[in-house]
């Protein structure tokens, strides 16, 4: 005869875009370790492993209380063997030996320092490490040729690696707003990225700019950038023509990264949804659209592959409705 104890398990839908994830995280000890392993995988260009750790961490972030035993995890989605091993280690020993040894490894430390330079990605950092360059001083002494972005990144290394606070973001909002309305009266600016999700700090400040009359936004980006430059606010700029997106340094009391996105009003809702994040939330929305709805979602449009039509939307709510998802407000997209 067997007796079975009833175990109360958590229930969580499998796509992050089906869940409400606030900034309140009851499992930070677990998710910090998984995030570190995800970051290490991404820095080692193992994207698949990175996403697997990110999805596992996201499930734990959505739980209403701390996990205390492995049995509570039964039936939860996205927890692969590797992530479960990491969680078990922490629950039993207080820390993940894998996360700890990764954090202390010379390679991880070097990847962090080098990719902390604006304009340096995982590939470049890996090449430098293989050439024996593990830090900023070694890089400067090596005589490596740096592109303009990397030179600016190295010059403002400390500033750009210092988190941007909400207060910094508010000051910058006022300046960008002034720039936008000066060069195009009637243009509208919205805070996007982490600050729109209610985060209190970030690595940059992101803005979306549009005009209520379709077409009036054409040519706006270079004008905004010129205005900022003429007022002495610009340290460095990198413009991507296609995406109408500009990254610029910002001289005030320190250098701050600012991301500007310009969108025609017809695409505004898609740009707003696509640039509010989090990165995993965006990835999951696109995966849901493709795998569950046979649609293609981007920050420009939503295409229905079956009906072969573009689905219009003037608000984020409409896009969620097209996708057959419950609306999740920005503050609950912190997955």
- Which residues does the annotation mark as catalytic? 204, 206, 259
> Can you list the alpha helix ranges (DSSP code H) found in 165-278?
166-183, 193-196, 220-230, 268-276
Among 193, 211, 249, 297, binds ligand DCP (CB under 6 A): 193
**Contacts with ligand DCP: how many residues (CB under 6 A)?**
13
Which of 286, 256, 266 lies closest to 274, judged by CA?
286
Nearer to ligand DCP, 57 or 86 (CB): 57
Three-state secondary-structure class, residue 250: strand
318 binds, among Mg ion, ligand DCP, none (CB under 5 to 8 A by kind): none
Nearer to ligand DCP, 96 or 278 (CB): 278
Q: Does the footprint of ligand DCP cover residue 330 (CB under 6 A)?
A: no
Return the range that interacts with Mg ion (CB under 5 A); candidates 93-101, 121-129, 191-199, 292-300: 191-199
Site string for ligand DCP, 225-264 (x = CB under 6 A): ----------------------------------x-----
Q: What torsion, rounded to 10 degrees, do the Cα atoms 186, 313, 196, 227 define?
A: -30
Both tokens of 41, joined, read 């995988």
Q: Does the footprint of ligand DCP cover residue 199 (CB under 6 A)?
A: yes
Which residue lies nearest ligand DCP, judged by its C-beta? 277
Q: Does the footprint of Mg ion cover residue 204 (CB under 5 A)?
A: yes
Among 39, 42, 168, 204, binds ligand DCP (CB under 6 A): 204
SS (H, E, C) 207-222: EEEECCCCCCCCCHHH
Nearer to ligand DCP, 124 or 161 (CB): 161
Which of 238, 237, 163 lies closest to 204, judged by CA?
163
Q: Min. distance of Cβ 257 from ligand DCP in angstroms?
A: 8
Return the range that interacts with ligand DCP (CB under 6 A); candidates 43-51, 89-97, 241-249, 274-282: 274-282
Return the range that interacts with ligand DCP (CB under 6 A); candidates 77-85, 240-248, 271-279, 316-324: 271-279
Cα 233–chain centre separation: 25
What angle do helix axes 47-61 and 28-43 make, rounded to 10 degrees? 170
Under 8 Å CB-to-CB from 166, ≥6 apart: which residues? 195, 199, 200, 201
Nearest-angstrom CA–CA distance, 303 and 321: 14
Q: Does the footprint of ligand DCP cover residue 288 (CB under 6 A)?
A: no
Among 42, 206, 217, 284, binds Mg ion (CB under 5 A): 206
Q: Does the footprint of Mg ion cover residue 274 (CB under 5 A)?
A: no
Nearest-angstrom CA–CA distance, 270 and 254: 32
Bridge-based pairing of strands 295-297 and 188-192 is unpaired
Residues at the contact surface with ligand DCP, assessed by CB under 6 A: 193-194, 199, 202-204, 206, 259, 275, 277-279, 282
């Amino acid at each position: 005869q067997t007796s079975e104890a009833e175990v109360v398990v958590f229930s969580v839908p499998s796509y992050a875009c089906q869940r409400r994830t606030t900034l309140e995280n009851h499992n930070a000890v677990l998710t910090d370790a998984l995030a570190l392993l995800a970051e290490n995988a991404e820095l080692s260009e193992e994207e698949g492993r990175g996403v697997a750790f990110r999805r596992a961490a996201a499930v734990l972030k959505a739980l209403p209380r701390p996990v205390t035993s492995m049995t509570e995890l039964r039936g939860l989605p996205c927890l692969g063997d590797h992530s479960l091993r990491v969680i078990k280690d922490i629950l039993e020993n207080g820390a993940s030996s894998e996360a700890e040894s990764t954090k202390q490894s010379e390679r991880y430390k070097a990847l962090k320092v080098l990719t902390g330079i604006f304009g340096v990605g995982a590939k470049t950092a890996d090449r430098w490490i293989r050439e024996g360059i593990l830090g900023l001083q070694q890089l400067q002494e090596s005589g490596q040729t740096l592109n303009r972005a990397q030179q600016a990144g190295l010059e403002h290394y400390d500033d750009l690696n210092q988190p941007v606070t909400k207060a910094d973001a508010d000051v910058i909002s006022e300046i960008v707003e002034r720039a936008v309305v000066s060069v195009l009266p009637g243009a509208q600016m919205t805070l996007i990225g982490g600050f729109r999700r209610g985060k209190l700090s970030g690595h940059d400040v992101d803005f979306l700019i549009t005009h209520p009359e379709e077409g009036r936004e054409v040519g706006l980006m270079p004008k905004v950038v010129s205005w900022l430059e003429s007022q002495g606010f610009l340290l460095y700029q990198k413009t991507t023509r296609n995406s109408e997106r500009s990254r610029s340094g910002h001289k005030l009391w320190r250098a701050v990264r600012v991301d500007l996105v310009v969108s025609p009003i017809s695409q505004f809702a898609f740009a707003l949804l696509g640039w509010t994040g989090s990165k995993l939330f965006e990835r999951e929305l696109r995966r849901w659209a493709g795998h569950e709805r046979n649609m293609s979602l981007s920050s420009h449009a939503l295409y229905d592959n079956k009906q072969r039509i573009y689905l219009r939307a003037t608000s984020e709510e409409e896009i969620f409705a097209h996708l057959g998802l419950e609306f999740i407000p920005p503050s609950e997209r912190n997955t």
